[in-house]
């Protein structure tokens, strides 16, 4: 069952507006423009679609909040700042089927009552930026964007905005600050963007993948979508499979398939002997090799002590040292913390230092307890998801592979010979 | 209409607060002070230090009480194990990145971070191996020193600079642990729009911001037998310096201050208020001239050097509106080194003029190249109220038990009109007292102009000067000044005369005043100044006998040739960055 990659995986499909239209593109927009916004909201709610950026918030509810907000103007913002390490699904859509996203944004604009949309695109996505620029132009030329879209009273424009390379701008309120030309830092929530968003106006902010589901939901109905995949979190999901796996890539599969199926059936199996899996990027917690039966949807992974996040599934074989991986993950967050709140700014810095010490034979017996306490406080007090999740991977590595850490700290020994185990 | 009331529970106490109250404030209402650092009552909510986190039932994570509004039925714990653990960790994290030089730090006794670390029982740092930064100090400014190593990134300085002062000379640069508060392109405070107002110093919770000290220069001058050292004290100092000796805000300590300064070894203890009276003579006549000769109006006061630098940067097209009068500090320096030096037979170069000011911008003002009209630098050294207090402490003087003594004559003689220069609206009121009598030749029976008093940022009044309707406005805080300037720039200003003071509340809330300075304290200092005015035998500048004497003996007349040379100045257009 393909909802999002339906066109892309077709032989000869080139993502142009002509090929998009020949595959039934912009039909959903035509239908939507004849419906009432309430009807569209109702279909969306029936579909049980939830945000695919990681937070899994019900999309229908989000749009309804924005629609019911009294303030005007309203905005639609697409979060295309795909920055989670191991995530490369949105890029596939942006580069190969841009009109699906444009159509979805126009539907969102019509539904919530917005006439301006923004795509906030990761700064390093050069090709996707060029493709989108051309696609927006083509859409305007074909009256799928701009004034009086497809002969209706509805007008909607999309502007592209490039990020400057900050991971935190994937966090929705930091993204909005950046979009406004400020330094990208999270805002105090509540109020949420659906009430106080871009320029303090009601704003629907959706991930690329989330929006890409919308045209098919309009065409086939919310009930149809809700029957795909697992019942409590239906639909398909784009899984980004990478690491020690034979066939890495983006796989669109119904939610609720197991991690084992994903790796073995689609990814061609583990390259080497499986040690651990990060199922949702570096913000998620490691799963051990005996947890492969977990279903790959939001609630199931949460129950398993991790999270689906952006579904960046990174497979780790037994040639990797968990101390080294924990160190790399915390280095990433130290580098990417926006620096606004104390626990994240200072916490990521200290965690990184402690793991570096461990890898250089300078670990101390109290390190593990201190890091666990730091993890708790960072989760409990950080302003946004970045700091709250920054210690997930490192913390779970310590939980699931305690003896490796123990050996680094007390025996000053990295059995795999990866950590330098001397001052560098 | 009374606002809706919200009922919540904090630490098992039922609390009722008006809708829109933060949990932090609600807790305070029942006597619980939740520790905080980035919160400041005069500034917007920032919610970043996370020290004020509390536990709220049904919330998955701790919430910052400064940024969370009380809700009906909310159950809050401010002192649970979880909260204490988080708070301590956050302070530990801040300390791990903070220099451990508390003993020699400028904020030694009044550092908020040190107090919180003490109160929360932090006795050991577990992140002791962490790296320390070694940033260079920004010492470019003659007024303010920034030590980035002591910065805890609370953003209070940034917010006061942009929100209260509409300047925005500093902001966060870079991200994560590399974040710094910097000026544009790290050019240094002296090379950007910084007005030297020092409000950033007042709100800084640590020793990251302080005045550039002149204490040692002043000691050296006092100790130099060849120098005749005179000191002048600004009006706002006498209403605040007592706070640095543990006296309550609003203590009026003119006499103790005078005797303490005499004990420090100054040769003469004079009063900037003498020069304030002189300012009124010059500025009052300038205003009368502009009104009667259809000169550039509105005319705006020029006493506040932070305000002057602000207008030079942001509204250079309005410079013709600024009174050409020097500030009282500079008028004092110019007449001390000419009129007074001549009187006592001392060469200007042998006289050393020290100012004690509630202000950091005065340090910059004294260094302006045009302030050398006596032939040498008119004011040699400027001390803030805080620095003066430190010298008194260093000399072991028991300030609170000092006898009351008078200023020396003649430059210590002043009026109530000069005293109120220290409060927002005071220059206006003093000018009106004199202008009324000069214009009408009648006696002003009620000298108080209540409309221009008080802590409001913008005050306006129409004053009937014997048939002439004089429209006046008073602004304190540069964001309020900006409103009046924008009107002028658009040609829509209805006023004849405007008083502007850079700092909230006027000089009594200046950046050189004792820490803390907040709204309540500013109100008490203002009350002290008005109390002093009320008790003065003379309350109109033009009735000051020393002023009459200086015109008779030296200056001849207001706006005369000598005045023009010594008491008036010009302004410079400055860049934006």
Helix or strand or coil: residue A171? coil
Residue of B nearest to A190 (CA): B68
Residues B207 and B220 placed together within one structural domain of the fold:
no
Residue of A nearest to B85 (CA): A377
- Kindly report, residue by residue over B278-306, the tens digit of the pLDDT: 999 999 999 999 999 999 999 999 999 99
pLDDT of residue B43: 96
| Domain covering A17-226, topology | Rossmann fold (3.40.50)
Residues B201 and B223 placed together within one structural domain of the fold:
no
Residues B174 and B231 placed together within one structural domain of the fold:
no
Residue B394 pLDDT level (bands cut at 50, 70, 90): very high
pLDDT of residue B100: 86
The CA-atom distances, in angstroms, between B567 and each of B281, B300, B326 are 11, 16, 6
Tell me the percentage of chain A whose pLDDT exceeds 90: 96
- Kindly report, residue by residue over B72-82, the tens digit of the pLDDT: 999 999 999 99
Q: Which class is domain A322-410?
A: mainly alpha
| Contact list, B178 vs chain A (CB under 8 Å) | 339
Residue B276 lies in a domain: yes
- Kindly report, residue by residue over B442-487, the tens digit of the pLDDT: 999 999 999 999 999 999 999 998 888 999 999 999 999 999 999 9
The CA-atom distances, in angstroms, between B315 and each of B304, B460, B572 are 16, 21, 11
Residues B313 and B402 placed together within one structural domain of the fold:
yes
Task: Enter the tokens of residue A390.
Answer: 């920054």
Residues B379 and B334 placed together within one structural domain of the fold:
yes
Residue B93 lies in a domain: yes
Residues B420 and B557 placed together within one structural domain of the fold:
yes
Residues B365 and B480 placed together within one structural domain of the fold:
yes
Q: A37-47 vs A98-112: helix axis angle to the nearest 10?
A: 120
Residues B307 and B234 placed together within one structural domain of the fold:
yes
Residue B572 lies in a domain: no
Mode of pairing for the β-strands spanning B381-384 and B144-146: unpaired
Residue B576 lies in a domain: no
Give the Cα separation of A109 and A203 in Å (integer).
10
Residue B236 lies in a domain: yes
Distance from CA of B85 to the nearest CA of A (A): 8
Helix or strand or coil: residue B479? helix
A383 touches chain B (CB under 8 A): yes
Per-residue pLDDT, averaged over B73-102, amounts to 96
- Kindly report, residue by residue over B215-230, the tens digit of the pLDDT: 999 999 999 999 999 9
Say which CATH number the domain at B96 has: 3.10.20.740
Residues B120 and B158 placed together within one structural domain of the fold:
no
Contact A349 B177 (CB under 8 A): yes
Residue of A nearest to B44 (CA): A188
**CB within 8 Å of chain A, chain B residues 2-61:** 45, 47-51, 53, 61
Contact B48 A350 (CB under 8 A): no
Of B65, B98, B132, which residue constitutes the final position of a domain?
A: B132
By annotation, the residues of B acting in catalysis are 283, 286, 303, 323, 362, 365, 370, 507
Of B211, B236, B269, which residue constitutes the final position of a domain?
A: B211
Give me the residue from A166, A168, A345 closest to B177, CB to CB.
A345
Say which CATH number the domain at B170 has: 3.30.70.20
| CATH, range A236-317 | 3.10.20.600
Length reported for chain A: 424
Intervals of chain A under pLDDT 70? none
Interface predicted TM-score (ipTM) of this complex, two decimals: 0.92
Residue B575 lies in a domain: no
Residue B129 pLDDT level (bands cut at 50, 70, 90): low
Contact A349 B53 (CB under 8 A): no
Element (H, E) at A400: helix A392-400
Of B166, B186, B211, which residue constitutes the final position of a domain?
A: B211
Residue B131 pLDDT level (bands cut at 50, 70, 90): low
In chain A, domain spans: 17-226, 236-317, 322-410
| HSE, side-chain direction, 13 A CA sphere, residue B220 | 6
**Among A342, A358, A363, the residue to mutate for chain B (most B Cβ within 10 A):** A342
**Does residue B2 surpass a pLDDT of 70?**
no
Q: How many domains does chain B have?
A: 3
Containing structural domain, residue B462: 215-567
Residues B127 and B137 placed together within one structural domain of the fold:
no
Residues B388 and B474 placed together within one structural domain of the fold:
yes
Residues B363 and B487 placed together within one structural domain of the fold:
yes
Say which CATH number the domain at B454 has: 3.40.50.1780
Per-residue pLDDT, averaged over B206-213, amounts to 98
CB A284 within 8 A of CB A306: yes
| Contact list, B90 vs chain A (CB under 8 Å) | 342-343, 377, 381
Give me the residue from A334, A339, A383 closest to B153, CB to CB.
A339
């Amino acid at each position: 069952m393909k909802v999002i990659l339906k066109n892309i995986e077709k032989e000869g499909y080139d993502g142009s507006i002509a090929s998009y239209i020949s595959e039934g593109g912009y039909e959903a927009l035509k239908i939507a423009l004849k419906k009432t916004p309430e009807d569209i909201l109702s279909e969306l709610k029936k579909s049980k679609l939830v945000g695919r950026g990681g937070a899994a918030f019900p999309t229908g509810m989000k749009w309804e909040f924005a629609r019911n907000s009294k303030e005007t103007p309203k905005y639609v913002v697409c979060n295309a700042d795909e920055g989670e390490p191991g995530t490369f699904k949105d890029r596939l859509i942006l580069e190969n089927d841009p009109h699906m996203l444009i159509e979805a944004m126009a539907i969102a604009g019509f539904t919530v009552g917005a006439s301006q949309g923004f795509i906030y695109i990761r700064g390093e996505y050069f090709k996707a930026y060029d493709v989108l620029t051309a696609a927006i132009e083509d859409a305007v030329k074909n009256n799928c964007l701009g004034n009086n879209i497809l002969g209706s009273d509805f007008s909607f424009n999309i502007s592209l905005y490039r990020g400057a390379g900050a991971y935190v701008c994937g966090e929705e309120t930091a993204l909005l600050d950046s979009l406004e030309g400020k330094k990208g830092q999270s805002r105090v929530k509540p109020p949420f963007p659906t009430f106080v968003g871009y320029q303090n106006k009601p704003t629907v902010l959706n991930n690329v993948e989330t929006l890409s589901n919308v045209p098919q939901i309009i065409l086939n109905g919310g009930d149809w979508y809700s029957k795909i995949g697992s019942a409590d979190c239906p639909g398909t999901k784009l899984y980004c499979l990478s690491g020690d796996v034979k066939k890495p890539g983006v796989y669109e599969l119904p939610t609720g398939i197991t991690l084992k199926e994903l790796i073995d059936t689609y990814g061609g199996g583990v390259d080497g002997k499986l040690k651990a899996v990060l199922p949702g990027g570096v913000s998620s917690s490691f799963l051990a090799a005996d947890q492969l039966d977990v279903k790959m949807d939001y609630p199931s992974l949460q129950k398993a002590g991790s999270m689906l996040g952006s579904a960046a599934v990174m497979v780790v074989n037994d040639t990797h040292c968990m101390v080294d991986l924990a160190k790399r993950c915390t280095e990433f967050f130290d580098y990417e913390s926006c620096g606004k709140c104390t626990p994240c700014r200072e916490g990521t810095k200290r965690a990184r230092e402690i793991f570096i010490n461990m890898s250089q034979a300078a670990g101390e017996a109290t390190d593990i307890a201190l890091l666990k306490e730091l993890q708790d406080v960072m989760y409990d007090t950080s302003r946004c998801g970045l700091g709250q999740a920054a210690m997930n991977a490192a913390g779970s590595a310590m939980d699931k592979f305690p003896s490796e850490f123990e050996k680094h700290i007390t025996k000053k020994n990295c059995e795999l010979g990866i950590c330098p185990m001397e001052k560098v | 209409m009374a606002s809706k009331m919200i009922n919540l529970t904090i630490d098992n106490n039922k609390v009722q607060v008006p809708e829109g109250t933060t949990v932090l404030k609600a807790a305070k209402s029942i006597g619980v002070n939740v520790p905080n650092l980035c919160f400041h009552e005069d500034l917007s909510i920032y919610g970043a230090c996370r020290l004020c986190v509390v536990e709220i039932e049904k919330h998955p994570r701790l919430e910052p009480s400064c940024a969370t509004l009380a809700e009906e039925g909310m159950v809050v714990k401010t002192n649970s194990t979880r909260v204490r653990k988080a708070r301590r960790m956050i302070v530990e994290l801040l300390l791990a990145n903070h220099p451990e030089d508390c003993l020699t730090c400028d904020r030694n006794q009044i550092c908020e971070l040190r107090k919180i670390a003490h109160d929360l029982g932090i006795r050991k740092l577990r992140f002791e191996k962490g790296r320390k930064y070694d940033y260079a100090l920004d010492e470019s400014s003659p007024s303010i020193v920034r030590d980035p190593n002591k910065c805890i990134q609370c953003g209070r300085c940034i917010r006061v600079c942009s929100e209260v002062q509409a300047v925005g000379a500093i902001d966060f640069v870079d991200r994560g642990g590399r974040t710094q508060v910097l000026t544009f392109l790290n050019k240094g405070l002296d090379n950007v729009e910084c007005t030297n107002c020092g409000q950033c110093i007042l709100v800084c919770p640590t020793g990251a911001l302080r005045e550039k000290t002149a204490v040692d220069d002043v000691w050296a001058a006092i100790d130099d037998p060849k120098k005749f050292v005179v000191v002048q004290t600004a009006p706002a100092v006498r209403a605040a310096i007592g706070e640095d000796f543990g006296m309550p805000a609003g203590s009026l300590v003119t006499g103790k201050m005078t005797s303490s300064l005499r004990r420090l070894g100054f040769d003469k203890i004079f009063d900037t208020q003498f020069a304030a009276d002189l300012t009124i003579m010059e500025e009052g006549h300038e205003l009368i001239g502009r009104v009667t000769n259809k000169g550039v109006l509105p005319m705006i006061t020029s006493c506040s050097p932070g305000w002057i630098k602000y207008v030079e940067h942001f509204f250079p097209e309005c410079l013709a509106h600024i009174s050409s009068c020097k500030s009282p500090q500079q008028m004092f320096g110019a007449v001390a080194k000419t009129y007074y030096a001549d009187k006592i037979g001392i060469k200007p170069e042998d006289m050393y003029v020290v100012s004690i000011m509630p202000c950091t911008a005065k340090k910059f003002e004294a260094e302006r190249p045009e302030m050398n009209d006596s032939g040498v630098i008119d004011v040699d050294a400027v001390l803030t109220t805080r620095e003066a207090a430190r010298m008194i402490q260093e000399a072991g003087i028991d300030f609170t038990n000092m006898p009351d003594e008078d200023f020396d004559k003649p430059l210590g003689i002043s009026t109530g009109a000069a005293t109120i220069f220290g409060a927002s609206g005071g220059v206006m009121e003093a000018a009106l007292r004199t202008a009324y009598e000069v214009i009408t030749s009648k006696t002003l029976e009620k000298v108080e102009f209540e409309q221009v008093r008080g802590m409001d940022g913008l005050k306006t009044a129409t004053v009937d000067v014997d048939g002439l309707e004089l429209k006046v406005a008073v602004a304190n805080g540069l964001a309020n000044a900006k409103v009046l300037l924008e009107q002028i720039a658009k040609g829509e200003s209805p006023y004849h005369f405007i008083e502007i003071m850079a700092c909230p509340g006027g000089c009594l809330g200046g950046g050189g005043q004792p820490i803390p300075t907040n709204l309540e304290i500013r109100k008490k200092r203002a009350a002290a100044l008005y109390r002093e005015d009320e008790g003065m035998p003379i309350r109109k500048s033009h009735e000051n006998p020393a002023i009459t004497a200086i015109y008779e003996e030296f200056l001849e007349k207001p706006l005369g040739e000598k005045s023009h040379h010594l008491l008036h100045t010009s302004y410079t257009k400055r860049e934006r960055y």
